[in-house]
Each structure stands twice: as structure tokens, then as C-alpha cells.
Amino acid sequence: MLDFERLQKYLDIPETARMMLSAPEKQVIMSVNIKVGAGKLLIYDSYLVYHNLVLGPAKGGIRFAPNVTLAETRTLAELMTYKCALMGIPFGGGKSSIALNPRSISEFEKRMLIREFVHMIRDELVSGAYIPAPDLGSTPSDMAIIYGETHHPESVTGKPPRLGGLPGRREATGRGVFTASRLACREILNLDVSKASVAIQGCGNVGSHSAAFLHESGARVVALSDVSGGLYSKAGLPVPAILDFVRQGKLLEEFPAEGLERITNQAILALPVDLLIPAAVEDVLTAETAPGVQAKLVVEAANGPTTPEGDQILARKKIPVISDIMANSGGVVASYVEWRNAKSGNQTSAQETYDFIDAKMEGAFKDVARRVREQKASWRDGAYLLALSELISAMRDRSWI
């Protein structure tokens, strides 16, 4: 939960607003099951959380991860509240999850499971109260299954483009990570991003597209990893070849690494680079790993990659952190465009999506940079201050406080 005590010194946060933002509006615990043969039943724990809906309907991805819990889902929904507020998107914070390793079941079983999940939260989806999108472990095809069940294109975002999805949505979070990196390199390091060296942990949707945009810009991506481990080259990795390989569903441990070094996910965090981009899972920059960080700047592409203890250590080391609610907001900004298009019948190009993300992010970044300068807040606190100001104003607009 957000540390209101720390932020109170910069911003007057009414007690009523604190109370509302401290308690999620709705938490649902479900057990999704499917019969997959005679005497064989698959059962998975599943969660749906609405954190705060003052700005609009609950927006947030659906996570498929074996150990996901209600607490993790709640934390992710909370992040969405602040992320949407920061970017000026009229959505509230939501999240859903199924405690499942998607690689452990067949495509057919996964399809049945998602259909069952839709049946369980059908009212939320069809009424537009909750709008899911891909997150860790889920894909555009999974969103297509949800759409197939609801028949409402605006009920889910991150769909494949030919099914009402948005050109550029798949790349959108990575695009936003790139834009945040570009702005932060310029503002904080006085460095053009094309000259930056970068280490990226995670090579899924977010990590791979972040890597692609950074590589295209001329930045030197020296390390990339997935759950099986990573690859390193001081001179820069062959990013397109690695991404082609990963997109075939293969793990990096199988990549023919002649001329490259293998590196662990932990060692990636300690590389002497300009930009460190954790883009996989949460809680990787911790009391144990943060002391070893040598990067000049951390850009949080994943949600919650830095623990509070890790954050304090990075602050002591004077390593600025561009927080998740800023760095990975490109996904929800694009989701907003997709949702708006689904309602209006409008169509937009990938370039228009990128331009919209860039404009939203540049606007928020400028405002946060001003707070960092004028209020001597950290970059993380600066982002939360802007988001909180928006939320408090919206609560007043609604006479909630």
C-alpha cells in the first residue's frame, strides 16, 4: 500500500481520500474449474480486485502465474489506480488473476478455462465494469477468447488487431518504456538514449518490445534474459535474432550463443550500464540485490520490481528510479485508445498509437520532473504526487470527500 505518511509532507492528502485509497472497493475470490476427461478436473484459484474506481471502470490485466495470490492481485490493482490517474486516463484500478502456469496445460484446456472464467465474471465484463487486457502469462489470443464470449469489443483490450484490437497495442508497453527511457536519459543523465547501454531482465511482451525500440534507436542492449537465464555482450546483443528466437516460443537457454556470454538473472541486475530495465517479475531489486546495482538509472518496466528496502538502498546510492506507474503505462494508454475505438467505431494506426503514448508520457513526465525539481521529491514520489492530486480532485468532483 502507498506510504501516505511519506507523501503527506509534499501534498495535503485528506484523511477521507487516504481511507478510500487504503481499502480496495471490491475483492472476489473464485475457484475456476474445468472437467478435462473422465474423473479429471482442473481447479485453479482466481481473483478479481477493484482498487479504486473514482476515475472510471476498473482497468487492469489478467495475470496467469502459478503462485499468484489475492494480495499480489490487490497490489497490482492499486498500481493501476495510480497509473491511470498519472496518465490522465479515465479508468479506475483493477486486476484479475488465475493461479496457473499457462505452459502446463494444452491450448484447448486453456481456452476452456478462460471461457469458464468469463462465465464467472460475466456481469462485470458485459456491463463494462471491468476491462481486462494481457498481463504476465496471458496473450492477445486469450483476450480474443474473452471477446468471443462477451461479443462486446469494448469489454476487453489487447485483442489481436484483426479482431478489433489496436495496431500497436502489442508493442505499446515497450514503446512507453522506450519513451520513458528516452526522456529520463535526457533529463537525468543528459544523454541521448541512442548512446545508452541497456540491460533488460525479461523478454516477454514488455521486455522484447522495449528491447526492439531501444535497439532501433541505436542504444546498445548488452543483456537480455528470460526465466531460463540471460545473454550478455559488452559490444551489444544481436537483438532482432534473439527476439525472432523468443517469439517462436523458445527459451533463451536454447539460443546458440556463440560469441555471447551466458548470464544469470541476478547478475544482469549488477551490470555497469546506463539503464537497467527490470521487465519480468516483481521484487527483484531487494535488500540483497540493490547494493550491487551499478546502473546509472533504473526504469521499471515490470510492475513492482523494486521492494521498499531495495528502493531505499537505490536512493542512498543516488540511482534514480523511473517507477512502474510511469514507465510501463504505455499499455494502459493504448488500451484506452482501443476501448475508445471499440465504442466509436474509429480505427487508428500503430503510429497514431505511439504518438498518443508519447504525448501522454511527455506531458506526465514534464509535470513529474517539475515536482522532482521544485519539491525535491524522488522520481517515484513525484509520479505518485501527480497521480494523487488527480485522484483527490476527482473524489471532490464526485463529492466522495
Residue 174: CB minimum distance to ligand NAD, A? 8
- Beta carbon nearer to ligand NAD, 203 or 395: 203
Phi-psi region of 220 (alpha: psi -120 to 50; beta: other; left: phi over 0): beta
Query: Was 195 annotated as part of a binding site?
Result: no
- Can you say whether the dihedral through the CA atoms of 120, 126, 129, 130 is positive or negative? positive
* Crossing angle (nearest 10°) for helices 350-375 and 379-397: 100
Task: Give Cβ neighbours of residue 94 (< 8 Å, ≥ 6 apart).
Answer: 48, 49, 50, 51, 53, 57, 58, 59, 60, 77, 80, 130, 131
Which one is catalytic: 9, 26, 35, 95? 95
Residue (153 or 331) nearer to ligand NAD, CB: 331
Is 346 flagged in the annotation as binding?
A: no
Q: What's CA 332's distance to the chain center, in Å? A: 8
Q: How far is the CB of 279 from ligand NAD (least distance, A)?
A: 6
Distance CA 48, CA 134 (A): 14
Residue 390 near residue 325 (C-beta atoms within 8 A): no
Task: Provide, rounded to whole angstroms, the least separation between the CB of residue 170 and ligand NAD.
Answer: 8
Q: Is-contact 319 295, C-beta < 8 A? A: yes
Nearer to ligand NAD, 20 or 263 (CB): 263
Least distance to ligand NAD from the beta carbon of 172, Å? 7
Q: Which is nearer to ligand NAD, 20 or 353 (CB)?
A: 353
Helices (H), 248-349: 265-268, 308-316, 324-327, 330-344
Q: Smallest distance, Å, CB 301 to ligand NAD?
A: 6
- Per the annotation, the verdict on 234 as an active-site residue is no
Is 205 annotated as a binding-site member? Answer: yes
Instruction: Output 192 or 254, the one with its CB closest to ligand NAD.
Output: 254
Bridge partners, residue 131, by sequence? 59
* Contacts to ligand NAD by CB under 6 A: 134-137, 173, 201-207, 225-227, 265, 279-281, 301-303, 328, 331
The residue whose Cβ lies closest to ligand NAD is 204
Give the annotated binding-site residues for NAD(+).
Answer: 173, 205
Please enumerate, by residue number, every residue annotated as part of a binding site: 59, 83, 173, 205, 335
Residues assigned a catalytic role? 95
Per the annotation, where are the binding residues for substrate?
A: 59, 83, 335
